[in-house]
Amino acid sequence: MERIKSTTVVAIRHNGEVVIGADGQATLGNTVAKSTVKKLRVLQGGKIVTGFAGSTADAFTLLEKFEEKLGAFGNNMKRAAVELAKEWRTDRMLSKLEAMMIVADQDDILIISGTGDVIEPDMEIATIGSGSMYAQSAARAMKQFAPQMSAEEMVRESLNIAADVCIYTNHNLVIEKVV
């Protein structure tokens, strides 16, 4: 049986703002299963925002684990991310999960993967999902050539460009700002 997959998430820090956004498409094989999936979660009253790509059920499992790690490590996002990545890589059940996460707070943007990676991306731009390289390319160009844009505008336009070229990304966007 095919799994439901969800795609394109982008986070950008620009001019003191941190914004994360995602499209709303979930696909089952080559069919759109749902076009309004919420791939972002706001934690700690907006101080941390997470986004996920990959198998939806797997992503929710990882999100719950991340919240547990936040609680265990005094809401230290970076430490919680490292501990989640370690457990994800070594735990027999978790190691089979197929998803990636972006977590962002006012200080850091991190990509967490099941291979044990916790990546602080270049240029303060993080992208995951099938449309991630399109969104990343667009975001990099905007940061370099249109620095007058806000972080929210960059996230929105990066996702729209990805949706224009990636068949697994749509224009139903959800955007959250880290407070």
Q: Which residues line the annotated binding site for Na(+)? A: 163, 166, 169
Q: In 30-121, where does DSSP find H-type helix?
A: 56-72, 77-90
Q: Give the domain ranges of the chain.
A: 4-177
Whole-number pLDDT of residue 45: 94
Q: Which residues line the annotated binding site? A: 163, 166, 169
CATH no., domain 4-177: 3.60.20.10
Q: Which sequence positions are flagged as catalytic?
A: 7
CA distance 33 to 18: 30
pLDDT, tens digit (0-9, with 9 covering 90-100), for 50-59:
999 988 888 8
Query: What is the pTM for the complete model shown?
Result: 0.94
Consecutive 10-residue runs of the chain (179 residues): their mean pLDDT?
74 98 91 93 96 87 94 96 93 86 97 91 96 97 98 98 95 98
